[in-house]
């Protein structure tokens, strides 16, 4: 039995190759946990299986091995308990903005009256700053506005957990910043548990409590879990004044640029315990910290759980 | 010139039309007939009796024009089986097309849905569809007449069978091609199958389905003329056949024009419907 809100255990995914034989696993033996109210970001190079993991959590895809347990129940299919924000917004173009959110709300609370649904949806659409556009069709909105509708739709069903797949990937930096702020505000206000894929290091540092770093696929692993130790009320405008910011940022960028590729053969991989991936706090390590003496054994710097 | 393209196109269309009528008029001016043709004509007149006077050469635009006036000024008269107003004849044809088309819809839309949703059904039914699709609908006529034993029902059956394939194939194709993302949205929202079918899949596939219906209607309107020529009794196709038997070519030309106009109106109607269900992404 687990005490975590969500725990992923021994997850693996194998796609068949074109001639029908099972291929190399995209990833295997993936273990991690998420606590209630936590914001988790997952970072890794394209193709390492982030979307696949998210889809397994969403119940849209089946794992080849292992599974996930949320709130003491095994995830074995899609559920209204988990709201998903899709990478390509996935709004239904024949419905208005309000219609899209109402479709979700009506699915969650079929017994609600039309007026109540409309009121509920409007609240969430106003939360993402779209109160003025509720009767527009998605085609009349900019990319950023569409993504906001997608976020409002996911929040409107008041799920136990929110899953976001590179929600801002297609947006320009300015729009992305604004929506990140909005997301942060709503998540803080609602104490929402979030699992989010991103390829933007700054975004991860701003939003996440923990960042899961994945090594390159195939056979991708969780290389590290980076705890973001900066105060939780950080803002996009202020956070880079915190000395921790650059330490964390450098650590993440270093991983993506240098360590993620050669991870398979490195010291870290030999020490790797899939069930307890190393947890690190690069933000709290001052640059002069000696590595410590472990009798010549290779050692992971900054690891707090070994 | 600050005229719109539409306006200029309209002027050009009108010009082409006037030219066409003019050339037609000149070509059908009473020719000085040679002795030989006169003799032949006389012989022909002998054979055909009184009707032959109508057959002297291709009708002039004036004659066709008067046929237009005659038929359009009283479209709904009914003087027995071989003499009905054009409105009544077109009405019969539309009724047959409408009935056959509706029956085809009732059959093709649900079946197309099932095929589109299930890769197994797609594969299993594909060979049958591929074989049945290219068969001329009229080839079914003898079989229909034999089994259904009623020319009226057989006519409707022929329309049914020719409307079926484009609707069926387009529905299946549209349903199978609904964006994965939209299906996934419905799945994560635990939408029940009926709601999913009507609120997600149907609107998503509607433009493709309507294209199929439009094609079906076009084919049905082409086929009804031939079917009515075969089956007889009533309808615009029978009218053409009947006037040909009377050698009343102006009436035939009038009927041909009507077939074109009604066909165009039907297509425009479906075009409008299509715009209505088309969404911009
Ligand atoms: N349906 C599929 N069939 C075969 N291979 C797939 C399929 N979906 C994803 N993959 C493979 O799985 C790997 C991980 O994909 P994905 O989870 O989308 O990665 P990410 O989101 O991290 O970029 C990729 O190498 C991709 O080619
Ligand atoms: Mg992805």
Collect residues with CB below 5 Å from ion ligand 2: A 51
pLDDT of B55 reads: 46
Residue A286 has pLDDT above 80, yes or no: no
Provide residues of B within 8 Å CB-CB of chain A: 179, 181-182, 184-185, 187-191, 195, 199-200, 203-204, 206, 277, 279-281
Q: For residue A223, what are the domain limits?
A: 6-81+159-302
Q: Residue A79: its chain B contacts at CB < 8 A?
A: 188, 190
Is the CB of A93 less than 8 angstroms away from the CB of B185? no
Cα(A230)–Cα(A284) distance, integer angstroms? 9
Residue A265 has pLDDT above 70, yes or no: no
Residue B186 has pLDDT above 90, yes or no: yes
pLDDT of B135 reads: 92
Q: What percent of chain A clears pLDDT 70, i.e. is strictly above it?
A: 90
Judgement on whether residues B116 and B10 belong to the same structural domain of the protein: no
Name the least confident of B12-16, B68-72, B183-187.
B68-72
- Mean pLDDT across chain A: 87
- Mean pLDDT across chain B: 89
Judgement on whether residues B36 and B135 belong to the same structural domain of the protein: no
Is the CB of B280 less than 8 angstroms away from the CB of A157? no
Paired with A162 in beta bridges are A83, A194
State the average pLDDT over residues A8-37.
90
Task: Label residue B43 by pLDDT band (50, 70, 90).
Answer: low
Residue A61 has pLDDT above 70, yes or no: yes
Is the CB of B281 less than 8 angstroms away from the CB of A139? yes
Distance from CA of A79 to the nearest CA of B (A): 5
Is residue B42 assigned to a domain? yes
Are the CB atoms for A49 and A220 separated by under 8 Å?
yes
Which of A75, A107, A117, A162 best tests the B interface by mutation, with the highest count of B CBs <10 A? A107
Q: What is the pLDDT of residues A227-244, one digit of tens each?
A: 999 998 888 888 889 889
Q: Residue A84: its chain B contacts at CB < 8 A?
A: 184-185, 188
Residue B166 belongs to domain with CATH number: 1.10.3720.10
Is residue A132 assigned to a domain? no
Judgement on whether residues B25 and B136 belong to the same structural domain of the protein: no
Q: For residue B231, what are the domain limits?
A: 86-277
Q: What percent of chain B clears pLDDT 90, i.e. is strictly above it?
A: 75
Residue A222 belongs to domain with CATH number: 3.40.50.300
pLDDT of A259 reads: 84
Question: Ligand 2 centroid to A214 CA: how many Å?
Answer: 13
Strands A6-13 and A27-34: antiparallel
Judgement on whether residues B23 and B132 belong to the same structural domain of the protein: no
Indicate if ligand 1 lies below 6 Å from the C-beta of A25.
Answer: no
Is residue B73 assigned to a domain? no
| Residue whose CA lies nearest to ligand 1 atom number 5 | A15
Residue B47 has pLDDT above 80, yes or no: no
The residue that leads in pLDDT, B122 or A301, is: B122
pLDDT of A293 reads: 43
Residue A74 has pLDDT above 80, yes or no: yes
pLDDT of B3 reads: 80
Is the CB of A139 less than 8 angstroms away from the CB of B184? no
pLDDT of B184 reads: 95
Is residue A202 assigned to a domain? yes
Judgement on whether residues B118 and B26 belong to the same structural domain of the protein: no
**A246 near B CB under 8 A:** no
Is the CB of A92 less than 8 angstroms away from the CB of B195? no
State the average pLDDT over residues A87-100.
94
Strands A279-280 and A222-227: parallel
pLDDT of A127 reads: 87
Is residue A282 assigned to a domain? yes
Is residue B26 assigned to a domain? yes
Atom of ligand 1 nearest to the CA of A52: 17
Residue A263 has pLDDT above 80, yes or no: no
Is the CB of A103 less than 8 angstroms away from the CB of B199? yes
Q: Residue A92: its chain B contacts at CB < 8 A?
A: 182, 185, 200, 203-204
Strands A73-74 and A65-70: antiparallel
Nearest CA in chain B to A84: B188
Q: Residue A104: its chain B contacts at CB < 8 A?
A: 185, 189
Domain count, chain B: 2
Task: Label residue A291 by pLDDT band (50, 70, 90).
Answer: very low
Judgement on whether residues B44 and B135 belong to the same structural domain of the protein: no
State the average pLDDT over residues B19-31.
88
pLDDT of B33 reads: 56
**A139 near B CB under 8 A:** yes
pLDDT of A22 reads: 82
Judgement on whether residues B40 and B91 belong to the same structural domain of the protein: no
Residue A55 has pLDDT above 60, yes or no: yes
State the average pLDDT over residues B109-118.
94
**A13 near B CB under 8 A:** no
Cα(B54)–Cα(B246) distance, integer angstroms? 9
Strands A39-43 and A210-214: parallel
DSSP 3-state of A277: coil
Atom of ligand 1 nearest to the CA of A13: 12
Is residue B34 assigned to a domain? yes
- pTM listed for this prediction: 0.84
Task: Label residue A297 by pLDDT band (50, 70, 90).
Answer: very low
pLDDT of A294 reads: 43
pLDDT of A201 reads: 93
Helix and strand tally (H, E) in chain A? 8, 11
| Residue B29: DSSP 8-state | S
Judgement on whether residues B152 and B225 belong to the same structural domain of the protein: yes
Q: What is the pLDDT of residues A161-183, one digit of tens each?
A: 999 999 988 788 888 888 898 88
Is the CB of B190 less than 8 angstroms away from the CB of A139? no
Q: Which ligand is nearest to the CA of A169?
A: 2
Task: Label residue B224 by pLDDT band (50, 70, 90).
Answer: very high
Exposed/middle/buried for residue A81 (C-beta within 10 Å: 0-12, 13-18, 19+): middle
pLDDT of B159 reads: 95
Mutate to test the pocket of ligand 1, among A13, A19, A26 (most ligand atoms within 8 A of CB): A26
pLDDT of B36 reads: 57
Comparing CB atoms, the residue among A58, A92, A137 nearest residue B182 is: A92
pLDDT of A100 reads: 97
pLDDT of A303 reads: 64
The residue that leads in pLDDT, B45 or B130, is: B130
Indicate if ligand 1 lies below 6 Å from the C-beta of A26.
Answer: yes
Is the CB of B189 less than 8 angstroms away from the CB of A82? no
Judgement on whether residues B30 and B147 belong to the same structural domain of the protein: no
Is residue A110 assigned to a domain? no
State the average pLDDT over residues A52-67.
94
Residue B32 has pLDDT above 90, yes or no: no
Residue B34 has pLDDT above 60, yes or no: no
Judgement on whether residues B18 and B118 belong to the same structural domain of the protein: no
Mutate to test the pocket of ligand 1, among A14, A47, A213 (most ligand atoms within 8 A of CB): A47
Is the CB of B189 less than 8 angstroms away from the CB of A107? yes
pLDDT of A216 reads: 86
| Residue whose CA lies nearest to ligand 1 atom number 18 | A51
Question: Ligand 1 centroid to A8 CA: how many Å?
Answer: 19
**Inter-chain Cβ pairs, chain A and chain B, closer than 8 A:** 60
pLDDT of B52 reads: 42
Residue B58 has pLDDT above 90, yes or no: no
Judgement on whether residues B124 and B258 belong to the same structural domain of the protein: yes
Is residue B14 assigned to a domain? yes
DSSP 3-state of A118: helix
Nearest CA in chain B to A110: B191
Residue A298 has pLDDT above 70, yes or no: no
Cα(B26)–Cα(B222) distance, integer angstroms? 31
Residue A306 has pLDDT above 60, yes or no: no
State the average pLDDT over residues B112-122.
93
A210-A186-A6 Cα angle (round to 5): 40
Judgement on whether residues B173 and B222 belong to the same structural domain of the protein: yes
Q: Name, in order, each residue with C-beta under 8 angstroms of A168's C-beta and a sequence gap of 6 or more.
A: A147, A175, A176, A179, A180, A198, A200, A203
Domain count, chain A: 1
Cα(A240)–Cα(A234) distance, integer angstroms? 9
Residue B173 has pLDDT above 60, yes or no: yes
State the average pLDDT over residues B86-114.
95
Cα(A225)–Cα(A211) distance, integer angstroms? 6
Here the ipTM equals: 0.87
Name the least confident of A75-79, B75-79, B223-227, B236-240.
B75-79
Question: Ligand 2 centroid to B197 CA: how many Å?
Answer: 28
pLDDT of A275 reads: 81
Q: Dump the DSSP string for B31-83.
A: ----HHHHHHHHHHHHHHGGGGGGGSSSPPHHHHHHHHHHHHHSTT-B-STT-
């Amino acid at each position: 039995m687990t005490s975590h809100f969500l725990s992923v255990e021994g997850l693996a995914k194998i796609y068949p190759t074109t001639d029908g034989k099972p291929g190399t696993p995209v990833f295997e033996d993936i273990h991690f946990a998420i606590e209630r109210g936590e914001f988790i970001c997952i970072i890794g190079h394209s193709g390492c299986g982030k979307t696949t993991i998210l889809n397994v959590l969403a119940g849209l895809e089946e794992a080849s091995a292992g599974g996930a347990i949320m709130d003491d129940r095994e995830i074995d299919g899609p559920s209204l308990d988990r709201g998903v924000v899709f990478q390509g917004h996935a709004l239904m173009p024949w419905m208005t903005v309000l219609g899209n959110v109402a479709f979700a709300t009506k699915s969650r609370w079929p017994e609600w009256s039309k007026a109540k649904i409309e009121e509920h949806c409007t609240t969430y659409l106003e939360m993402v700053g779209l109160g003025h556009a509720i009767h527009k069709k998605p085609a009349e909105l900019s990319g950023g506005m569409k993504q906001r509708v997608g976020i409002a739709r996911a929040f409107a069903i008041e799920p136990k957990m929110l899953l976001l797949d590179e929600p801002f990937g297609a947006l320009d930096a300015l729009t992305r910043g604004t929506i990140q702020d909005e997301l942060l505000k709503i998540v803080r206000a609602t104490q929402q548990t979030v699992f989010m894929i991103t390829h933007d290091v700054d975004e991860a540092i701003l939003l996440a409590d923990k960042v899961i770093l994945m090594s390159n696929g195939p056979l991708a692993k969780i290389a590290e879990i980076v705890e973001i130790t900066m105060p939780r009320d950080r803002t996009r405008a202020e956070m880079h004044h915190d000395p921790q910011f650059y330490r964390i940022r450098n650590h993440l960028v270093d991983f993506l640029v240098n360590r993620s590729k050669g991870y398979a053969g490195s010291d870290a991989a030999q020490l790797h315990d899939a069930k307890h991936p190393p947890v690190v706090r690069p933000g709290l390590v001052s640059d002069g910290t000696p590595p410590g003496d472990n009798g010549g054994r290779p050692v992971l710097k900054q690891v707090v759980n070994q | 010139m600050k005229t719109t393209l539409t306006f200029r196109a309209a002027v050009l269309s009108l010009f082409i039309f006037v030219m066409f009528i003019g050339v037609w008029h000149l070509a059908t001016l009473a020719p000085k007939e040679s002795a030989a043709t006169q003799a032949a004509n006389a012989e022909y007149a002998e054979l055909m009796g009184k009707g032959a006077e109508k057959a002297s050469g291709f009708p002039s635009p004036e004659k066709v024009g008067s046929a237009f006036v005659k038929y359009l000024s009283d479209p709904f008269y009914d003087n027995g089986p071989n003499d009905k107003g054009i409105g009544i004849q077109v009405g019969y044809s539309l009724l047959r097309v409408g009935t056959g088309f509706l029956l085809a819809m009732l059959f093709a839309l649900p079946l197309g849905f099932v095929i589109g949703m299930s890769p197994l059904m797609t594969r299993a039914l594909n060979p049958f569809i591929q074989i049945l699709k290219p068969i001329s609908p009229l080839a079914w006529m003898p079989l229909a007449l034999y089994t259904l034993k009623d020319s009226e029902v057989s006519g409707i059956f022929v329309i049914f069978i020719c409307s079926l394939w484009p609707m069926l194939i387009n529905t299946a194709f549209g349903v199978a091609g609904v964006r994965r993302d939209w299906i996934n949205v419905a799945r994560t929202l635990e939408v029940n199958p009926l709601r999913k079918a009507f609120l997600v899949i149907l609107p998503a596939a509607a433009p493709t389905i309507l294209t199929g219906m439009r094609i079906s209607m076009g084919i049905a309107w082409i086929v009804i003329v031939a079917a009515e020529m075969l089956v007889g009794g009533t309808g615009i196709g029978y009218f053409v056949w009947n006037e040909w038997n009377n050698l009343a070519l102006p009436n035939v030309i009038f009927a041909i024009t009507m077939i074109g106009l009604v066909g165009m109106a039907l297509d425009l109607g479906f075009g409008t419907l299509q715009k209505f269900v088309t969404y911009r992404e």
